[in-house]
């Protein structure tokens, strides 16, 4: 069986267990996961015993080359009419759909002669557990990101512009083989580094600045995501060194907390408590991490509100940070996989504080 | 009044006319349009007389610098609890929401003590009409894209690899000042050019190949989108030259059809009829064009199914194509604006057939 056939079988088992007749899948990364299709528009209809893939004219040739494990058809005219014909010809009475479905299309589905059954995150839940092929792709996305960073690192110094560094890093990622990058690269220095999601500016890196670099790579459609923070030599670095040390310790505590069956909230708490004890709780407002795969932010969330128990094959980030307005911020982000009951770091770049002369 | 204040006033007029109390806006480009916020997470609540913007910790400093025309607040904990407090404190009984809202969040909204009223595309409809600031940004996004293309064009020749050209063009777009690019650049040669949405490969451009290049630029968050097709010198170009001529004529017919009050279907028909008359109807499966702005694909659609009447300030593409499996494909894409009752081309690159020696 191809990997796509196995995935579709897994979904069919859930469909039977839930006593629905079919699942309509249109979130494009879920479509890719189930069918292998890498285009931007198409859908999959999975019934108890069939998998059907549809796309339009623009992707006909591409889908013929890519789609495995599904029967394929052409999407012409409007989608809801096609679905109306499909539910009739396939005898679908109870139709499941994804939680991410836009309201507008949901309201069209309501016009079909079926009972609709939201099936929140069914595919996202399968996607949390990465198989061998996916892990290989992610490892490769990590390696490309690290190789690109190491080539660009010598240019990260006082006087360089944030935007210049982000452009150079993006170019290098493409040269390492990444077909796309998962998000706009963050290069944030000095005061800008206190914004967790800063956009690179024309600002020049100054003496004593923290420089946060948050970037990711890609391989076979899978992403990586990592952050390093460098410190520029300068006067009065005492508190900055302290903050870096606290964040790095929080990161280490969270990494050590990872294990089979551990709740993601407990991993978050390990990082958060460390930062709290050091008195910086108010300056760490985001979650500790998130899953990475076909999407750079996907399940599981590693945060305080709701939890997942970590299982074999989960791939996620650990990325605590402290952001002090005016002073600057630090974030250190690694990627991990749970393999054989233990967390294993995928990121290999040094996390030691480097003060750039 | 700031531009954001004017936009919020416009929405408030619709809210009053529809006799709702408020509109919840979370589609991120709509949030940007109404508030000026350029981050990736936040929402706007517009009541009959107020505009409120919320984002989380990560974007606090950024939103303080960017958001105009809205009161701002912090989003902490889960969003639905915050909305529950808001509808209570603001006295909202009838709450409008966007058609793009994911079903999952819609089902949470259903738990609030309000009557929900879908308000499909209210913001998207306003966004169709571009104001002076937006037009300037789009013109600049076009100029950057054209400048980048002209610098890369000498490298588009027999023996060059598709992917090498797309990387070079992307790098050049960034050097021209684009902070992001709207979509992965298409460089498709020879047989690949018959896939309307091909991804660049390691294939080398061959003699007699069509090479489709489809790319866009960015300025101030606004995009441009254009396509040119070059033909490499070679033997037996007769049918290829004919196809190019047909597509270019279809493009010209569609451009000429543009005028105030014209239906978008009629613009589509002008292109489609030309291709049909030449006998290539089966090889033009996509719509003739689409709106461009904060999203590279936005309203209006210029296609056969449903229509809009073109108004002053609409910016959209005209991009007919013919794609013949094995032989190759041609697409020529221009951007237009309707200004003072007449269509005006924003794209200035030549559309004449160029046979590259």
CATH number, domain with residue B171: 3.90.230.10
Average pLDDT for chain B: 95
Q: Measured between beta carbons, which residues in chain A are less than 8 angstroms from residue B40?
A: 197
Partner residue opposite A103 with nearest CB, options B56, B61, B106: B106
In sequence order, the β-bridge partners of residue A97 are: A24, A118
Closest approach of chain A CAs to the CA of B339, in angstroms?
31
Does residue B102 share a domain with residue B114? yes
Q: Measured between beta carbons, which residues in chain A are less than 8 angstroms from residue B170?
A: 174
For tokens 């935007």, the residue is A163
Q: What is the pairing mode between strands A226-232 and A355-356?
A: parallel
In sequence order, the β-bridge partners of residue A355 are: A231
Of A11-15, A126-130, B57-61, B145-149, give the lowest mean pLDDT range. B57-61
> B228: burial class by Cβ within 10 Å (0-12, 13-18, 19+)?
buried
Pick the last residue of a domain from B102, B127, B152.
B127
The DSSP output letter for B158 is: T
Of A28-32, A208-212, A301-305, give the lowest mean pLDDT range. A301-305
Does residue B255 share a domain with residue B159? yes
pLDDT of residue B306: 75
Does residue B81 share a domain with residue B141? no
CB A269 within 8 A of CB A278: no
Closest approach of chain B CAs to the CA of A84, in angstroms?
17
DSSP labels for B213-264? EEE--EETTEE--EEEEEEE--S--HHHHHHHHHHHHHHHHHHHH-BTT-BH
The answer on pLDDT for A215 being more than 80 is: yes
Q: Measured between beta carbons, which residues in chain A are less than 8 angstroms from residue B56?
A: 285-286
Does residue B316 share a domain with residue B198? yes
**Both tokens of residue B351?**
């559309």
CB A138 within 8 A of CB A292: yes
Q: Measured between beta carbons, which residues in chain A are less than 8 angstroms from residue B60?
A: 195, 285
Assign B77 a pLDDT band (cuts: 50, 70, 90): confident
pLDDT in tens, A278-295: 999 999 989 999 999 999
Partner residue opposite A118 with nearest CB, options B103, B179, B305: B103
Does residue A205 share a domain with residue A102? no
Does residue B314 share a domain with residue B168? yes
pLDDT in tens, B157-207: 999 999 999 999 999 999 999 999 999 999 999 999 999 988 999 999 999
Q: What is the CATH number of the domain that holds B61?
A: 3.40.350.10
**Both tokens of residue B140?**
């600049």
The CA angle A181-B124-B111, to the nearest 5 degrees, is 90
Q: What is the pairing mode between strands B210-215 and B186-189?
A: antiparallel
Closest residue by Cα to residue B92 from B101, B83, B104: B83
Q: Decide if B62 and A198 are in contact by the 8 Å CB cutoff.
A: yes
3-state secondary structure A95-130: EEECCCCEHHHHHHHCCCCCEEEECCCHHHHHHHEC
**CA B19 to centroid of chain Cα atoms:** 31
Torsions phi, psi for B206 (to 5 deg): -110, 170
B311: helix, strand or coil: coil
Q: Decide if B104 and A118 are in contact by the 8 Å CB cutoff.
A: yes
Q: Measured between beta carbons, which residues in chain A are less than 8 angstroms from residue B97?
A: 103
**CA A182 to centroid of chain Cα atoms:** 8
Separation of alpha carbons A93 and A20, rounded Å:
8
pLDDT of residue B58: 87
Separation of alpha carbons A218 and A137, rounded Å:
8
Separation of alpha carbons A325 and A312, rounded Å:
39
Pick the last residue of a domain from B111, B127, B143.
B127
Mutation target vs B (from A170, A197, A325; most B CBs, 10 A cutoff): A197
Q: Measured between beta carbons, which residues in chain B are less than 8 angstroms from residue A102?
A: 99-103
Does residue A330 share a domain with residue A318? yes
pLDDT in tens, A60-106: 889 999 998 899 999 987 899 999 999 999 999 999 999 999 999 99
Does residue A158 share a domain with residue A122? no
Does residue A158 share a domain with residue A252? yes
**CA B16 to centroid of chain Cα atoms:** 30
The domain containing residue A170 runs over which residues?
A: 129-356
CB A244 within 8 A of CB A250: no
Q: Decide if A196 and B38 are in contact by the 8 Å CB cutoff.
A: no
CB A355 within 8 A of CB A237: yes
What is the number of structural domains in chain B? 2
Q: Decide if A103 and B101 are in contact by the 8 Å CB cutoff.
A: yes
Q: Decide if B78 and A305 are in contact by the 8 Å CB cutoff.
A: yes
Does residue B227 share a domain with residue B185? yes
The DSSP output letter for B193 is: G
The answer on pLDDT for A232 being more than 90 is: yes
Closest approach of chain B CAs to the CA of A354, in angstroms?
25
The DSSP output letter for B290 is: E
Q: Decide if A106 and B104 are in contact by the 8 Å CB cutoff.
A: no
| Per-residue buried b or exposed e for B135-144, using 16+ beta carbons within 10 Å of the residue's own CB | bebbbbbbbb
Whole-model pTM: value is: 0.90
Q: Measured between beta carbons, which residues in chain B are less than 8 angstroms from residue A100?
A: 102-104
CB B266 within 8 A of CB B343: no
Closest approach of chain A CAs to the CA of B341, in angstroms?
31
Q: Decide if B59 and A197 are in contact by the 8 Å CB cutoff.
A: yes
A308: helix, strand or coil: coil
Chain B residues interacting with chain A (CB cutoff of 8 angstroms): 38-40, 56-62, 76-78, 97-104, 106-107, 118, 120, 167, 170-171, 174-175, 179-180, 184, 194-199, 285-286, 305, 325
Assign B120 a pLDDT band (cuts: 50, 70, 90): confident
Separation of alpha carbons B351 and B357, rounded Å:
18
Q: Measured between beta carbons, which residues in chain B are less than 8 angstroms from residue A195?
A: 58-62
Closest approach of chain A CAs to the CA of B136, in angstroms?
21
Q: Measured between beta carbons, which residues in chain B are less than 8 angstroms from residue A325?
A: 61
Separation of alpha carbons B126 and B113, rounded Å:
29
Q: Tell me how many residue pairs between chain A and chain B have CB atoms under 8 A apart.
A: 106
Does residue A158 share a domain with residue A56? no
Of A58-67, A130-139, A151-160, give the lowest mean pLDDT range. A58-67
Q: Measured between beta carbons, which residues in chain B are less than 8 angstroms from residue A196?
A: 57-59
Pick the last residue of a domain from A127, A153, A181.
A127
Does residue A63 share a domain with residue A162? no
* Greatest CA separation for chain B: 74
Which residue on chain B is closest to A285 by alpha carbon? Answer: B57
Separation of alpha carbons A36 and A51, rounded Å:
12
Assign B7 a pLDDT band (cuts: 50, 70, 90): very high
Separation of alpha carbons A103 and B80, rounded Å:
17
Torsions phi, psi for A107 (to 5 deg): -70, -25
């Amino acid at each position: 069986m191809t990997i796509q056939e196995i995935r579709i079988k897994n979904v069919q088992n859930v469909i039977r267990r839930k006593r629905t007749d079919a699942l309509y899948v249109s979130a494009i990364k879920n479509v890719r996961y189930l069918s292998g299709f890498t285009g931007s528009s198409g859908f999959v209809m999975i019934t108890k015993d069939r998998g059907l893939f549809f796309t339009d004219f623009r992707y006909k040739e591409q889908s013929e080359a890519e789609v495995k494990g599904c029967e394929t058809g052409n999407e012409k005219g409007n989608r809801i009419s096609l679905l109306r014909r499909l539910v009739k010809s396939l005898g679908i009475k109870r139709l499941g759909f994804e939680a991410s479905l836009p309201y507008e299309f949901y309201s069209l589905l309501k016009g079909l002669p079926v009972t609709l059954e939201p099936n929140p995150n069914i595919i996202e839940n399968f996607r949390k557990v990465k198989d061998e092929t996916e892990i290989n792709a992610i490892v490769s996305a990590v390696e490309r990101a690290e190789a690109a960073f190491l080539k660009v690192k010598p240019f990260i110094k006082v006087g360089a512009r944030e935007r210049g560094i982000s452009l150079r890093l993006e170019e290098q990622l493409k040269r390492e083989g990444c077909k796309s990058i998962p998000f706009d690269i963050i290069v944030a220095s000095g005061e800008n580094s206190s914004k967790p999601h800063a956009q690179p500016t024309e600002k020049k890196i100054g003496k004593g600045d923290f420089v946060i670099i948050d970037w990711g790579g890609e391989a076979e459609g899978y992403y990586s995501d990592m952050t390093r923070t460098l410190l520029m030599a300068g006067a009065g670095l005492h508190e900055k060194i302290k903050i870096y040390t606290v964040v790095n310790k929080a990161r280490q505590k969270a990494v050590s907390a990872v294990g089979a069956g551990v709740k993601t909230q407990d991993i978050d708490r390990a990082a958060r408590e460390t930062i709290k004890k050091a008195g910086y709780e108010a300056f760490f407002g985001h979650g500790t991490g998130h899953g990475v795969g076909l999407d750079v932010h996907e399940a599981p969330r590693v945060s305080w509100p709701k939890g997942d128990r970590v299982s074999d094959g989960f791939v996620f980030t650990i990325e605590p940070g402290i952001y002090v307005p005016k002073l600057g911020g630090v974030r250190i982000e690694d990627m991990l996989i749970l393999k054989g009951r233990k967390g294993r770091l995928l990121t290999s770049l040094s996390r030691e504080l480097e003060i750039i002369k």
